[in-house]
Each structure stands twice: as C-alpha cells, then as structure tokens.
Amino acid sequence: MANGTDGTRRNAATGESYLPHQEPRYREIATFLRAPLAESLQELDIALVGIPFDVGVSNRPGARHGPRELRNQSSMMRSLHHVTRLDPFAQARIADIGDVRFSSIYDLKQVSDDIAAYYSAIHRAGIIPLSAGGDHSITYPILRGLAADGPVGLIHIDAHTDTWDEFQGSKFHHGGPFRLACKEGLIDPKRTVQIGIRGAQNTTQGWDYSAASGMRVMFMEEVDALGIVATVAEARRVVGNGPVYLSFDIDSIDPAFAPGTGTPEVGGLTSLQALQLVRGFRGLPLIGADVVEVSPPFDPSGNTALLGATIMYELLCLIAEQVATDKN
C-alpha cells in the first residue's frame, strides 16, 4: 500500500499518521468509501476498483463517469454499520487501487481482455475485488478473471436479465454479459438467481435464455409478493454454499430513488429494500461484487451515486466480515 498497512496515511509535510476515513468528510482525496489509496496489491485483502467504461451501452451513455462520482459520494460514508455494529476497516485490509486502464478504449474485445487480465492478477494475489462501473458489460470480463478455476454461483440484482445475444453485430454489450458468462462456463446457471427483473421488451429472448439455461428468474412482481426475507431465502437456496459473485445494477432500484442510470425501469426496489436484500447475503462466500450503471449525467441530485456508494459500503461489510472469518 502507498501508506500504512493498517489504512493510515502519512502527512507529507509533518510526517503525522492518521486515518483518512475518520477525517471530516469534506477533506482528503476522494476514494471509494474513503479507503486509502494503494499503488500495489501487496498487503491487501480487498481491492476497490473503478471501471470507467460505457461503450457497451445500448442507449443512454454516461456510466463511464460512474466511478468518479461514486468516489465523490463515498465521502458521505462512515465506517461503523448501524445494524451489525461492524467496521469493515477493522476487519480487513482495504484500499482503492484506482481504475482499470485500457489499451484501446474503442476496441470492445480488447477492453474485455484488459479487464479480464486485470482481475486475473487480483485473483492470483488472493484479493477480493469490489468494483464500480461502468456499464454492465464489465461483469463478463471480471468473471473471466475470477472464475478461471471453474463456474461460480451468481446473485444478479437488476431490472434486466442481461442474457440477450448480439446487439448491432457485437456480443460485448451491457445486455448480454451473463449469456456470455454462462456459455463460457464462468457461472453455473443452476446456481444463478436474477432478482428484480421487470419492464417491457421487444423480444422474449433474454427471459427465454435465462429460463432455458436453468437460471432462477425472480421478476419484481414475485419479489414484491414474497417480500425481501423470503426472496433472500430463495436466493440463498439457489446459490448454495459454494463460491458466489454478486452483481448489483443500480437500475434494479426504482427510478424514483435512482434516476441516474442508462435504462431506468419503473416499479423497482425501494432504497430500503435494496439495502435489506444485500444484507441478507451475509455469510455467503463472495469471490467479488460490483455496482454498475450509475450514470451521473442523468443524476442531477446526486442521489443515485449516493445510493450506489451506500450499496458498495453494504457489500464491503459483507466481504470484510467474510475475510475476518476466514482468517480466524
């Protein structure tokens, strides 16, 4: 890490050590969840990563600005969780390691390869990544980097199944990452649950692929009828106790709460339901997680990015507790 291994930072002028996330929230360089910056993967348990990419969107762009604004809104975060009373920074070595760099931003295959290589390095180092997109196309190459040892389970919270085929001649788009991941054996469809699906489509292709492959699709109407507790129980039944990845698309939340996204769909989760849903996955062996599709140009109040940063914090708490448990 660039500073102390315990998350401390050293003042360049005075040499004084301090904890950035305990400073007044208007101070310091904006990082994910006010974590320290790191220049290497050494002495880390959890890496916070930005992927500023949205060339895979099918309509409204802007998610490339998501990581920067999520860092800004992360300044509102504190460390101690009000429900569990756990402090993720006291449980694991956490740092913001910056953004994935691309060798050719307009070459979609090359971007996918760049992301996959980046996450392969994180995986080899034994570090769990928590990522901020970017559009949802980034999750496919993340899984390429993390699931090289065999298929993993997937908790996918979204308004859309993202299992569509090629769009405008390309398979690298935000509507198809989980079709690709399934076809390449990166996720086990029998251990995949998709939660909050809704919205009219011009074709049933995505819904059909998810169902035919064996994924458990929970449309928003079912989630509403069951309630969050029963939804969590069903999701945990599907994914079991094996390694699992969690992908959270901000458009799973109703645009009344999260308007700043590329493909908003009315009738979604409330903010509270989203938090309760994520907390319900406490104790699962997560190999990584992401929050995607925050689009600041469509987020005039900043509430969508604030909600995205809060979801990231909830995910960080899950992963940090898991790290601490594994160490003991």
Q: List, in order, residues 6 or more apart from 305 with CB less than 8 Å away.
A: 66, 69, 70, 72, 73, 260, 294, 296, 299
54 is in an annotated binding site: no
- Find residue 154's DSSP bridge partners: 192, 245
249 is in an annotated binding site: yes
290 is in an annotated binding site: no
- For residue 321, give the nearest of 84, 78, 125, 7 by alpha carbon: 84
160 is in an annotated binding site: yes
Dist. CA 65–CA 299, nearest whole Å: 11
Instruction: Write out the two tokens for 24.
Output: 């007044």
87 is in an annotated binding site: no
- For residue 197, give the nearest of 207, 188, 189, 205 by alpha carbon: 207
136 is in an annotated binding site: yes
Dist. CA 10–CA 12, nearest whole Å: 6
Q: List, in order, residues 6 or more apart from 67 with CB less than 8 Å away.
A: 50, 51, 52, 99, 132, 133, 134
- For residue 290, give the nearest of 126, 88, 145, 101 by alpha carbon: 145
Dist. CA 129–CA 33, nearest whole Å: 14
Q: List, in order, residues 6 or more apart from 238 with CB less than 8 Å away.
A: 153, 190, 191, 192, 193, 216
Chain centre to alpha carbon of residue 157: 10
- For residue 293, give the nearest of 323, 268, 322, 320 by alpha carbon: 268
Q: List, in order, residues 6 or more apart from 98 with CB less than 8 Å away.
A: 37, 49, 50
Summarize the annotated binding site as residue ranges. 136, 158, 160, 162, 249, 251
Summarize the annotated binding site for Mn(2+) as residue ranges. 136, 158, 160, 162, 249, 251
